[in-house]
Structure 1
Amino acid sequence: MPEPEKAAKAPQKHVTRVLDPRSLRGLAHPLRIQLLRSLRHHGPATASRLAERLGESSGATSYHLRQLAAHGFVEDDPTLGKGRERWWRAAQQGISWDASLDRNTDPEVRGAADLLLHEVATNHTQELSTWIATRHEWPEWAGATDMSDFTLRLPPAAARELGQRLHALIDEYRNSPSADAPDAGRVRLHLHAFPQREG
């Protein structure tokens, strides 16, 4: 008797939150950024588990989780809560930057934008440094990683188009059948594109 066919795994939709001035101000705190990153990377957790992971007090993580929830970045995970234990999960898998934030003249919005971008850049640097320090532990990944940089001459419109095409290509791999391969691992991609002064 033939085996029944396995149901095709439905691709998960990658939900991205577009930041506006209010949500940007709600997120722009170093611990809140770390909490959200941890929930996205490691899955649901309680305030005490996050405190232990991040080296913070559970009072601080509880407070900042409630602030993130008030701005819609995290939510309760009712499938895990037992009794008084409150589990949190990320409400979206990513954030995107609205270009209007760069044109906003409110000093508070500009300060929040600077803080968030510096925290993201610091996190990227830490992740890359950790990979470099531990790359000998991943021999099967030799030749499969990349640390490149390129310099192009482009007008802003072409740079936007390039970014959109790169994002579309990455999305093609997000729910690829190869994600279920026995040797599949979580792969981090950092994409930076910015202008530089010449000379």
Structure 2
Amino acid sequence: MTDTRDDGRGRREIRALDSGALRALAHPVRVRLYDILSQQGPQTASTLAAMTGESSGSTSYHLRALAKHDLIREVPDRGTARERWWERPSGGVSFPGPDTLRTPAGRAASQVVMGEFLERRHEQLMRFVGSTLRDELDPWAENALITSATVSLTVEQLGEVNARIQRVIDDVVDEYRIDPNAEPTPTADRRIVSLRAEAFPITTESD
């Protein structure tokens, strides 16, 4: 699984999370905080508490745990001693890696993180579907894409298909990259859009 945040300058480095960073992220609240920082830009413990329903003391604790493994960082030259701002570094992260899959703890942490990420994406998708069915002639709904297909592939072909999809996403990120000096605040004519692709072998009932 890869999650990318472009740096606004065309550089896209992918960091493979080691077992320590993955275990630090393997908590539902931390995944949620990390994802909010990825999608909505810099936040404070207080703003994150308001978004998540957690206390500011709880969000501060989890933010420090994420920062300890360089998953997030304090925004330089912003905030005060009482109110610190946090951001997710640019670039992408990928997991699980070979080292994390060698141990039961690494595999368990990978399952937690991937499960939480995918559950959040599914919740966002279902909220969009629900609002779309309520609103008539919504141009955002008309131009959104929700599609699925089933094909027969070899493992080599699956790898090539995924590489082609990733190249398309990379091209889109390059063309419409977020300004690193501006917070990605939605406006009437511009919104943060989630790009998501899935291609994996289906497990049949007999497997």
With the shorter chain as reference, the TM-score category is 0.7 to 0.9
**Which residue in 1 is equivalent to 2:70?**
72
Shift of 1:138: 7.0
How many pairs were matched up? 188
Q: Percent identity?
A: 34
Structure 1 CA distance, aligned partners of 2:124 and 2:102? Answer: 32
For residue 112 of structure 1, what is the amino acid of its counterpart?
Answer: A
* Partner residue in 1 for 2:102: 105
SS in 2 for 1:154: coil
Distance 1:50 1:94, change over 3 A: same
Distance in 1, matches of 2:178 and 2:62, equals 33
Per the TM alignment, residue 63 of structure 1 is displaced from its structure 2 partner at its CA by 0.8
Contact 1:17–1:92 (CA<8 Å) still a contact in 2?
no
Task: Kindly indicate which of the two structures has a greater share of residues assigned to strand.
Answer: 2
TM-score by length of 2: 0.80
Structure 1 position 55, deviation (Å): 0.5
Distance 1:151 1:15, change over 3 A: same
1:157 positional shift: 1.8
Letter in 1 for 2:154: P
Structure 2 unmatched ranges of 5 or more = 1-7, 180-187
**106-115 or 187-196, which deviates more:** 187-196
1:1-199 equivalent positions in 2, closer than 5 A: 11-100=9-98, 104-135=101-132, 136=135, 139-176=138-175, 183-198=189-204
Partners of 1:133 and 1:70 in 2: how far apart? 38
Whether the 8 Å CA contact 2:39–2:192 is kept in 1: the answer is no
> What residue in structure 2 maps to residue 5 of structure 1?
none
8 Å Cα contact 2:44-2:83 kept in structure 1: yes
1:83 positional shift:
3.8
1:115 shift after superposition: 0.6
Task: Using the TM superposition, give the Cα deviation of residue 14 of structure 1 relative to its aligned residue in structure 2, in angstroms.
Answer: 3.8
CA distance in 2, matches of 1:49, 1:12: 29
TM-score normalised by L of structure 1: 0.83
Measured in 2, the distance between the counterparts of 1:138 and 1:73 equals 40
Q: Which 5+ residue runs of structure 1 have no aligned equivalent? A: 1-9
How far 1:101 moved relative to its partner?
5.5
Greater C-alpha Rg: 1
Any conservation in 2 of the 1:16–1:92 contact (CA below 8 Å)? no
Say whether the 8 Å CA contact 1:40–1:93 is kept in structure 2: no
RMSD: 2.5
